[in-house]
Structure 1
């Protein structure tokens, strides 16, 4: 592995040393990152529940408007390629802090505008786009920053701990959102999301471990944008393990985005479920995610990343086909959707930890940003089209038929995984030279 980074300065006295074999419990800076992001994840999950409810309940959005909102939320995924190249040139922690502060301001604007009776779908689109852009900058920066904060042998554990936090947030946030919505409304619930982003920024600012300064490649000249983007894309496309991963993820995200776009609209308008019940159904996914995240590291160690990811995909993807066949009777609908949410919540973090750790382990240090962004850009690039297409199609043919078609398409990633080298992965691979 050819690492092209050099420290800008000697580590501060008492600063955590990622090379020390003390485990993550002794890495105080990772604990700061973990605790701050745990709160930010809580706020993010409240936003996931509250934002579409603002559109559907408070602004009476139509299927096509929800399609536009879903597309706007996912359109910034195309920026992943540029962001990754940029983050291989700069330190990542300041970018993460700036992204948190940006999300704080944008999310805070929604309850303020609602309270002054000035909130409209147009501004919701703007906020959704801005929050998505900031989220992408943070996402790539975090993935490129983590390997500089923890050792390679602790990557799986670090990803597992952050996945547990995400899962706990998925469990607690919908219940919190339900309580806030019942007492106030979905717009006010977004206030929680903004505050947690601010707390996350403060935690990141207190990390003491000096971040390595990126060193230019080759002759030291500043590399051009297009060749760096091409290098990241080429690495993902040519790598025999990453290639089926990105194809499978791309198919899944495209059609899952369409289902997500229509999901809240389906629950509120078709099934006539109250907003608080919708939030609690989301909480079932969080409960499953807590179990899945807790089991992710034991499963990774016992079965290997390949078999773990495949079995999770076999359980998770077909579960989405049950959604359009949900009966309109209240309790049968709630029970079925709760089971679907739990099953998908259980398997997603296990698969994510397994495949995310494989990608990080396969990638040389000096390409972490580019490869992470290339992977995200390729896998999420068609998500806006999936969301928009779902909204437009539902306007013509109805929500249930579209959910059936998109659910059937989610079966395809299973076969991509099966006919690839992924089933043979028993341990994390070594990075390419």
Structure 2
């Protein structure tokens, strides 16, 4: 039986829905900044503010979204988030006859779509274990990561073509359509979803929020991952916030070329998704995660180092995107699976929401700081600061118990992973009952 057949028809529908919506979203990731830079001629600080608006929902909405997702069925949340995102995106082309879109509208749409992304991502990561079972999480996540990789490969390139020869607002329409198609596919999933436990409704929102954060920070393997993620997200989001501005104004690249450079990230991520299982078996899960993050940090240094003839600039940027995507993908598949394996279903939404709140919220602040710093000291020096910050971020986890983790812990051998952190058992020997191993 093939892997896809074993995972089931409903998983294929989820996989297809994710692939289609991600393809459209990658187009918009390039389109919104280009509308701001080319049409509205914004400053570095305004670019940082636009990126901040898109990530601010992770600070404001992640924790409440986690409580909400753990109290309802997750599939309807996924469908509703897709429909709402499509409606928001369609306001951009609809404003064109009236002289829009304005900068303020871009920020509002970025914030609204970001809010939909919060709900969708929290529900998605909580829903996948229900759909495929915890024993097949790495296999399922590898396939889902291929969707991220393929969309990252084709999406920006397609977006660059559409923006170059049509318009950025026209490209946004395709993203809206992709969300609607995704909603239809998700709606066709037939596997029954268990209703949430009655006990959750009786717990106060404040206590529910605290349970999610406590579960994340008390786990000896998840805690170092979340700390590294917060530091890395702060600097990487800062770098990405001013990337398009740097590429257009200082490097002289057009939308098509920028799209092709971004597409190289997807090209590198696809083998990363395919190699993740091998890397975990060869080096151990913990070292695959840490090593992937370190190499991804080196790759980001290529952005401020790019210079010289146009062909060399493009080659350096493309190589950086490809290497970073390959190594980051290996790390992310294993750390996602680890979090899903050790998290009980009734806490899945809140643990994911807490992770998004801390990591993506840190990224929102980083985007705003980078925008301000770029306006003050220049784009290239700011990019150097951000790249070095990403390179140093894995130091947070190098000496943690994560480094000794050889295999994903089995759920049936891990009944108490959310007990207060204590002395770590060696990860390469059988764990005692109640320990993560």
Contact 2:54–2:110 under 8 Å retained in 1: yes
Q: Does 2:35 correspond to 1:54?
A: yes
d(CA) in 2 for partners of 1:410, 1:302: 25
Change over 3 Å in CA distance of 1:328–1:110 after alignment to 2: farther
Q: Check whether the contact 1:363–1:432 (CA below 8 A) recurs between aligned residues.
A: no
2:145 to 155, 163, 188: 163
1:304 — aligned with what?
A: 284
Aligned partner of residue 410 in structure 1, secondary structure: helix
State the match for 1:5 in structure 2.
none
**Using the alignment, how far apart are the partners of 1:138 and 1:348 within structure 2?**
22
Among 13, 19, 22, the alignment partner of 1:41 is 22
Given that 2:92 and 2:100 are in contact with CA atoms closer than 8 Å, whether structure 1 keeps it comes out as no
Report if the CA contact (8 A) 1:24-1:154 is conserved.
no
**Pair 1:76-2:57 in alignment:** yes
2:128 aligned partner: 146
Match of 1:346 in 2: 326
1:266 aligns with 2:222: no
The secondary structure found in structure 2 opposite 1:204 is: helix
Deviation at 1:303, TM superposition (A): 3.3
Name the counterpart of 2:364. Answer: 384
Give the TM-score normalised by structure 2.
0.91
TM-superposed CA distance for 1:58, in Å, is 1.6
What does 1:208-247 correspond to in 2, within 5 Å?
A: 208-217=190-199, 222-247=202-227
Does the 8 A contact of 1:53 with 1:275 survive in 2? yes
Q: How large is the Cα RMSD of the aligned pairs?
A: 1.5
* In structure 2, C-alpha distance between the alignment counterparts of 1:164 and 1:301, rounded to whole Å: 19
> 1:349 offset after TM fit, Å?
1.4
In the alignment of these two chains, the number of paired residues is 411
**Residues 52 and 364, structure 2, Cα contact 8 Å, conserved in 1:** yes
Question: Is 1:29 paired with 2:10?
Answer: yes
8 Å Cα contact 1:45-1:174 kept in structure 2: yes
The 5-angstrom pairing of residues 168-207 of structure 1 reads: 168-207=150-189
User: Using the alignment, how far apart are the partners of 2:415 and 2:227 within structure 1?
Assistant: 20
The separation in 2 between residues aligned to 1:221 and 1:265, in whole angstroms, is 47
Conserved 8 A contact 1:306-1:425: yes
Aligned to 1:414: 394
Deviation at 1:380, TM superposition (A): 2.0
Deviation per residue, 1:13-55 (Å, 9 max, x gap): xxxxxxxx98542411111101111101101111111111111
| Corresponding residue for residue 17 of structure 1 | none
**CA deviation profile, 1:175-206 (whole Å, cap 9, x unmatched):** 21122112212221111111110000000101
* Cross-structure match for 2:117: 135
State the TM-score, normalized to the length of structure 1. Answer: 0.92
Instruction: Give the aligned partner of residue 402 of structure 1.
Output: 382
How far apart, CA to CA, are the structure 1 residues paired with 2:100 and 2:302? Answer: 39
Please say if residues 316 and 344 of structure 1, whose CA atoms lie closer than 8 Å, have aligned partners that are also in contact.
yes
Residues 221 and 345 of structure 1: CA distance in aligned 2, closer, same or farther (over 3 Å): closer
The DSSP-based 3-state class of the residue aligned with 1:31 is helix
Q: Whole-Å Cα distance in 2 between the matches of residues 82 and 22 of structure 1?
A: 39
Q: Quick one: distance in 1 between partners of 2:20 and 2:281?
A: 28
Could you report, residue by residue, the CA deviation over 1:201-229 in whole angstroms, capped at 9, with x for unpaired residues? 00010111111100133xx7611001111
Is residue 2:71 matched to residue 1:99?
no
Residue deviations 1:380-433 (CA, integer Å, cap 9, x gap) = 222221111111111111111111112111122221121111121111113442
- Give the SS at the match of 1:213: coil
Which digits, 9 at most, give the CA deviation of each residue in 1:303-344, with x for residues without a partner? Answer: 332121122112111221221122153111111101111111
CA deviations 1:138-188 (Å, max 9, x no partner) are 000011111111111111111100000110011111121122112212221
Mapping 1:317-328, distance limit 5 Å: 317-328=297-308
In 2, Cα distance between the equivalents of 1:335 and 1:263? 16
Give the structure 1 partner of residue 345 of structure 2: 365
CA distance in structure 1 between the aligned counterparts of 2:314 and 2:114, rounded to whole angstroms: 30
Aligned to 2:422: none
**Structure 2: stretches of 5+ with no match in the other structure:** 417-437
SS in 2 for 1:411: helix
Match of 1:112 in 2: 94
Structure 1 residue runs without a partner (length 5+) = 1-20
Native 8 Å contact 2:233 2:360 kept in 1: yes
Q: Which moved more, 1:341-350 or 1:137-146?
A: 341-350
1:107 Cα deviation from its structure 2 partner? 1.2
Indicate how the Cα distance of structure 1 residues 91 and 277 shifts in structure 2: closer, same or farther if over 3 A, else same. same
* 1:247 shift after superposition: 0.2
